[in-house]
Structure 1
Amino acid sequence: MTLKTLVRKYLENCKEQNNLNQKTIKAYKIDLEQFIFFMKDIDAFYKKDEIVRYIQHLNSLNFKVKTIKRKIASVKAFFSYLEYEEIIERNPFYKIKLKIKEPLILPKTISLKDIEKLFEYIYLEKSNYNETSYKHKEIVRDIAVLEVLIGTGMRISELCNIKKENMAYTNNEIKIYGKGAKERIIPIYNKDTIAALQIYETVFYKEICNSDYFFVNKRKKRLSSQSVRNMIKKYCKKINIDKNITPHMFRHTFATMLLDDDVDIRSIQMLLGHSSIITTQIYTHVRSNKKSQIMKNKNPRRMIIVNKG
C-alpha cells in the first residue's frame, strides 16, 4: 500500500475505533499530508534516516516549537498504528532521540498599582448608579468576579462554571472543577471578597435561582469567559490602562504575589490546581530580583560577627 493509502486508513481508524473528535482528526490530516508531500518520491518512508530528515526539514521552517512538536507527534502516532497493525516491524521513532526545547515564556502579571487603580475605579463607579438600575447590578457582579479572580487565582473557565450549590463562601470555601474535571476546594477568608460575593448573591438572587450557575448574565444564562474579558477591557480603557489585561493574568498575579510573600511552591501548586510542580515553577522565574533582595537583606553572613583584631 502507498503512504497516502495508509494515512487514509489510519485517519478512518482514528474516527471509527478511537472515537477522536473532528478537530483532532483534521489536525492529524494536515500534519500527515505534509509528511506525505515530503515523502512523495521515497518508498522507504518508514526508515529512521528518512524520519530524521523530515524532522530536520520541520526545524528549518518558521514554525513555532509547539507546532513542530505537534507535527512530529502526529507522525509518531501514525507509525505506532502501523506497528500495531503489523504493517511495519518496528516504529522508527524508538531509535530517534528528540530534543526540542521550547523557549521559556514567562507569565504576564498585573502591577499592584494597576490592580489598585482598577478596584478603586469600579468600587467608586458602583456608587454612581441607583441601586434599582441594571447598571448598578452589573457593576456589583463585575466586582464579585474581579474579587474572586485576584483572591483565589482560579482559571476563568473555572469561575464561569461554578455551580450555585458549590458556593459555600459562608463556610469559607468554594468548590470548583478544574482541568480534567478534577475537584478542588479553595479556602476563602478575605473579608472584601466574601462581602462582594454576598452583595452579588443578594442582588442577583432571582437570576441565580433560575440558573444552574452562580455567575450569570441578565438573560439568566451562565456568564461567559468572553464577557469577562470584555468587561476587564472596558474598565481598563476607562481608566487609561493601555496594557492588554486578561483574566488569566489575575491568576499569574495571584501566584506571583504569593511567591513574593514567601509562600512555598508546593502550596501554590495546590491552590492553583496544577497537576505537576513543573507548571508552577515557572513563577519562580518571574521575580528574578527576589534572589538579589534575599542576598542583600537576609544573607546568613550578616549574622556572623568576626573580630578581625
Structure 2
Amino acid sequence: MSRNESGNDSLPDSLTGAVAAFLHYLSAERRHSPHTREGYQRDLTRLMHWATVQSPPVEQWEQLTVPDVRRYAATLNRDGLSGRSIARALSAIRRFYDYLIREYRVRSNPALDVRAPKSGRRLPVAADADQLGYLLDARPGDPLEVRDLAMFELLYSSGLRLAELTGLDLSHLDLRSGEVRVLGKGNRERVLPVGRKAGKALRDWLALRPALAATGESAVFVSQRGQRLSARSVQQRLDRWGRHHGADQHLHPHLLRHSFASHLLESSGDLRAVQELLGHADIATTQVYTHLDFQHLARVYDDAHPRARRKKAIASAQGDGKGDSL
C-alpha cells in the first residue's frame, strides 16, 4: 500500500491508483478547481471504504456491479444522507467510470442507471399569528426602527420577497389606493394590496424618510447613510427586532412571506388567490410552499366541484330518507 492523491494509505493501490489518476485528469486536463476535486475525492474515498468491507471485498474497479451501486446508494440513505447528496455521490461515480472507460480500464459504467431517492422539500414553519401580531405591535424607538417596522409590516401584509422589498421605489407605492407594485421573478409585475397597519407604518416612515435619504435617492427604504438598504441589512434588522422583542424563533424575511401565505390560506382556503399574491407561475409551487396536505385539497374539491357538491347533496338526501325510492 502507498499513500497517494486519494489521501488514503489503508486502501488497495488497485483502487486508489485509479482515483488518483482521475483526480489528476480533472486538474490537468479538465482544469477543475481544487474545491471540485476535493468533492470528487470525498465521494470516491467513501465508496472505496464501503467497497473494501463488502463480502467479498471489491479489489478492482471492474468488479463493482450495478447491484453493488444500488446497495451503496441504499447505505447512504440509511446513513441519513439527503437525496441531493446521494445524487451527487452517484454523479461522481458515473463521471469516474466514464474516465475509466475512456482509459480502457473497465468496460461498463455500473452507476449509469442508478438514481437517488427523492428528498422531501424542506419548508419553513409559519410564525404563530398571535405572536407575530405582538411583535409587530411593538413601538419603534427611533427613526430607523420606524423604517424597520414599515418593512416588516409590508413583508407580512403583502407577502413580498426580500428582493422585491429592497427594490421598491417611491413610485411603486400608492398608499391612497392601498397598493404596491412589485417586479418579481421572471420580470413579472404584480400589484398587491397593502393592509391598514402596513399602510400606517409606511406613512410614519415616509414622514421621516426625507431627513435620511440622499438627494435623488428613489428607494423607499434607505440606510442611515441615505442609500438603498441592502438585503443583508434587512435580514439583520429583522433578526435584531425579533431578539429585542422576545420572539421565540429566528425572524427572517422569508418567514414573514411564508406566514403571509399560510395565514391567508388558512383563513380563505383560496389557493388561486394565494398563488397570484405570491407571484407563483405554477400553482404546484404554491401547494408545496404552503404545505397543503391531501386532506385540505380534498376539502377544497368537495366544497367547490359541481360533481362533488352533487354527491354530497345526494348523500344528505339519502340520510334524510329522501333517497329510499331506489
Question: Structure 1 length as normaliser, TM-score?
Answer: 0.69
Q: Deviations over 1:45-87 (max 9, x none)?
A: 88535533542443343434443333334444x3597499797
CA contact (8 A) 1:140 1:200 kept: yes
Establish whether residue 244 from structure 1 lines up as the match of residue 244 from structure 2: no
2:136 to 116, 119, 130: 119
Deviation at 1:292, TM superposition (A): 10
Q: Which amino acid aligns with 1:203?
A: L
Deviation at 1:199, TM superposition (A): 4.1
Q: Which amino acid aligns with 1:185?
A: E
The residue aligned with 2:181 is 174
SS at match of 2:62: coil
Deviation at 1:204, TM superposition (A): 2.2
Distance verdict in 2 for CA 1:163–1:254, change over 3 Å:
closer
The 2-side partners of 1:207 and 1:52 are apart by: 60
The 1-side partners of 2:97 and 2:146 are apart by: 54
Deviation at 1:257, TM superposition (A): 2.0
Q: Which amino acid aligns with 1:148?
A: L
SS at match of 1:207: coil
Deviation at 1:113, TM superposition (A): 0.7
Distance verdict in 2 for CA 1:61–1:236, change over 3 Å:
same
Establish whether residue 149 from structure 1 lines up as the match of residue 155 from structure 2: yes
Q: Which amino acid aligns with 1:29?
A: R
The residue aligned with 1:164 is 169
Q: Deviations over 1:240-295 (max 9, x none)?
A: 33233332211111111232233543443343344554432225546898689989
CA contact (8 A) 1:175 1:185 kept: yes
Q: Which is further off, 62-71 or 29-38? A: 62-71
The 2-side partners of 1:163 and 1:85 are apart by: 54
CA contact (8 A) 2:19 2:44 kept: yes
Deviation at 1:141, TM superposition (A): 0.9
CA contact (8 A) 1:256 1:286 kept: no
The residue aligned with 1:5 is 21
Q: Which amino acid aligns with 2:44?
A: I
CA contact (8 A) 1:142 1:231 kept: yes
SS at match of 2:119: coil
CA contact (8 A) 1:108 1:249 kept: yes
Q: Which is further off, 144-153 or 184-193? A: 184-193
The 2-side partners of 1:263 and 1:59 are apart by: 36
Look at both structures and tell me which one has the larger radius of gyration over its CA atoms.
2
CA contact (8 A) 2:126 2:258 kept: yes
1:29 to 34, 37, 44: 37
Establish whether residue 189 from structure 1 lines up as the match of residue 193 from structure 2: yes
- Residue pairs, 1:226-237, within 5 angstroms: 226-237=232-243
SS at match of 2:182: strand
The 2-side partners of 1:14 and 1:113 are apart by: 56
% identical equivalent positions: 21
Q: Which amino acid aligns with 2:202?
A: L
The 1-side partners of 2:97 and 2:219 are apart by: 43
2:209 to 196, 204, 212: 204
CA contact (8 A) 2:192 2:277 kept: no
The 1-side partners of 2:96 and 2:297 are apart by: 47
The residue aligned with 2:88 is 70
Q: Which amino acid aligns with 2:274?
A: I
Establish whether residue 255 from structure 1 lines up as the match of residue 257 from structure 2: no
Question: Structure 2 length as normaliser, TM-score?
Answer: 0.66
Q: Which amino acid aligns with 1:117?
A: Y
The 1-side partners of 2:227 and 2:107 are apart by: 55
CA contact (8 A) 2:169 2:219 kept: yes
The residue aligned with 2:320 is 306
The residue aligned with 2:69 is 51
SS at match of 1:188: strand
Q: Which amino acid aligns with 1:220?
A: G
Distance verdict in 2 for CA 1:241–1:35, change over 3 Å:
closer
Deviation at 1:2, TM superposition (A): 3.0
Establish whether residue 109 from structure 1 lines up as the match of residue 115 from structure 2: no
Q: Which amino acid aligns with 1:143?
A: L
CA contact (8 A) 1:79 1:92 kept: no
CA contact (8 A) 1:31 1:71 kept: no
Number of equivalenced pairs? 283
**Structure 2 gaps, min length 5:** 1-16, 50-58
Deviation at 1:146, TM superposition (A): 0.8
**Structure 1 gaps, min length 5:** 17-21, 130-134
